[in-house]
């Protein structure tokens, strides 16, 4: 469920509530902890859709970073080191000329710059990575002009940054809720290192490559559940288009059931309802309230995307008979 803010303090005209929905009871609150998994839609995309992110670790006391790319439908994994020196040219003998860090006087090491990420993606493309769509957060390297010029456009790749909501000032905020698949594989990678007794600073390219092979050739719980088999691996589905199409059809069917249950169980919020917005935590800052102070009014909705209006700041006062109800996910 997603909420956006109405612009220019103008409240859109309310659309009448369908008669079949007018009698649906809207819950006063929505216990997120117990219902999030039940009502969350499963991730699915067109063939060639991948989620990407950057994972940081330690190698002999020094920071190291890796590009993580996982295919949405097949769960097939690519990982490539992004930590590198910036090469600015070559001398007369063909040796690299590396950029110098003015602050330290040593070679400049880059982890998530456009240069570093583009180089990692280029290595993956040379090894057979063939994405058509990439989904990632608003990392500067992912959305830079250089990335479009050197990687996306030449390889016909569409990049879709994850923007879930805007604040009252129109600023875009990204969230990893829509990057659950790549977030999960990063956690699996860290747990794989821990379970095998490796030190916290043992993130080497060799071990990462070993994990990738292990992950791609090991039965995946989601795929095994879909095919009702204990032997389905990401490698198998990645190499078989018919299997991938079956996964897509299955997930789309499950999402239809979830949407249906949302309507029948009172997930629909009628226009005019007063709601409280979830107050997401901000890194390094203490959150004092789970919900935002100001009440908001639902003024329109489209496919579970609700447009809300700040009645306190704009002076828009809804019908006094409408009682306050909390936004699903606010508790």
Q: Which residues contact 163 (CB under 8 A, 6 or more apart)?
A: 138, 172, 173, 174
| Residue 151 clears pLDDT 90, i.e. is over it | yes
**Higher model confidence: residue 248 or residue 298?**
248
Residue from 57, 70, 66, 106 nearest 86 by CA:
106
- Tell me what pLDDT residue 10 has: 43
- DSSP codes, 130-154: --SEEEE---HHHH-HHHIIIIITT
Q: What is the mean pLDDT of residues 85-104?
A: 66
Torsion over CA of 289, 291, 292 and 296, rounded to 10 degrees? -160
Count CB-CB contacts under 10 A for residue 144: 17
Higher pLDDT, 41 or 217: 217
**Residue 226's closest CA among 248, 241, 259?**
248
Helix (H, G, I), strand (E, B) or coil at 319: coil
Predicted TM-score (pTM) of the model is: 0.69
Mean pLDDT of the chain: 77
Backbone torsions φ then ψ of 216, nearest 5 degrees: -70, -25
Among the ranges given (91-95, 120-124, 135-139, 271-275), the one the predictor scored with the smallest mean pLDDT: 91-95
Bridge partners of 291, per DSSP, are 278
Question: Is residue 15's pLDDT more than 70?
Answer: no
Query: Among the listed ranges 100-104, 116-120, 240-244, which one has the minimum average pLDDT value?
Result: 100-104
For residue 193, give every residue at least 6 positions away whose Cβ sits within 8 Å of its Cβ, in sequence order, or none: 202, 203, 207, 211
pLDDT tens-digit map of 219-259: 999 999 999 998 999 999 999 999 999 999 999 998 888 77
Which one has a higher pLDDT value, 91 or 212?
212
pLDDT tens, residue by residue, 182-210: 999 999 999 999 888 887 678 889 999 99
Q: How confident is the model at residue 265 (pLDDT cuts 50, 70, 90)?
A: low
CB 147 within 8 Å of CB 124: no
Domains in the chain, start-ordered, CATH in brackets? 49-218 (3.30.420.10)
Structure tokens at 193: 């290192």
């Amino acid at each position: 469920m997603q909420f956006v803010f109405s612009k220019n303090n103008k409240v859109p005209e309310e659309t009448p509530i369908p008669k079949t929905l007018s009698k649906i009871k809207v819950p006063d609150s929505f216990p997120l902890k117990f219902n999030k998994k039940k009502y969350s839609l499963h991730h699915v995309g067109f063939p060639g859709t991948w989620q990407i992110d950057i994972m940081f670790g330690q190698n002999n006391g020094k920071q190291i970073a890796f590009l993580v790319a996982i295919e949405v439908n097949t769960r097939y994994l690519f990982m490539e080191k992004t930590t590198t020196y910036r090469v600015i040219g070559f001398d007369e003998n063909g040796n690299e000329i590396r950029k110098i860090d003015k602050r330290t006087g040593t070679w400049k090491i880059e982890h998530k710059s456009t240069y570093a990420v583009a180089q990692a993606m280029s290595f993956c493309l040379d090894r057979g990575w063939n994405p058509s769509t990439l989904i990632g957060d608003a990392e500067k390297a992912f959305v830079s002009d250089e990335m479009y010029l050197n990687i996306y456009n030449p390889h016909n790749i569409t990049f879709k940054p994850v923007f879930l909501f805007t604040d009252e000032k129109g600023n875009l905020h990204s969230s990893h809720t829509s990057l659950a698949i790549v977030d999960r594989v990063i956690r699996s990678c860290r747990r794989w290192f821990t379970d095998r007794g490796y030190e916290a600073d043992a993130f080497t390219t060799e071990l990462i490559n070993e994990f990738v092979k292990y992950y791609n050739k090991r039965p995946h719980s989601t795929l095994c559940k879909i095919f009702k088999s204990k032997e389905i691996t990401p490698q198998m589905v990645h190499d078989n288009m018919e299997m991938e199409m079956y996964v897509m059809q299955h997930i789309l069917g499950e999402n239809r059931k979830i949407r249906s249950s949302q309507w029948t169980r009172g997930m629909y919020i009628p226009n005019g309802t007063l709601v409280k917005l979830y107050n997401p935590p901000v890194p390094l800052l203490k959150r004092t309230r789970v919900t935002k102070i100001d009440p908001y009014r639902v003024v329109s909705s489209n496919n579970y995307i609700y447009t809300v209006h700040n009645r306190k700041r704009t002076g828009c006062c809804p019908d006094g008979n409408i009682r306050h109800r909390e936004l699903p996910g606010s508790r």
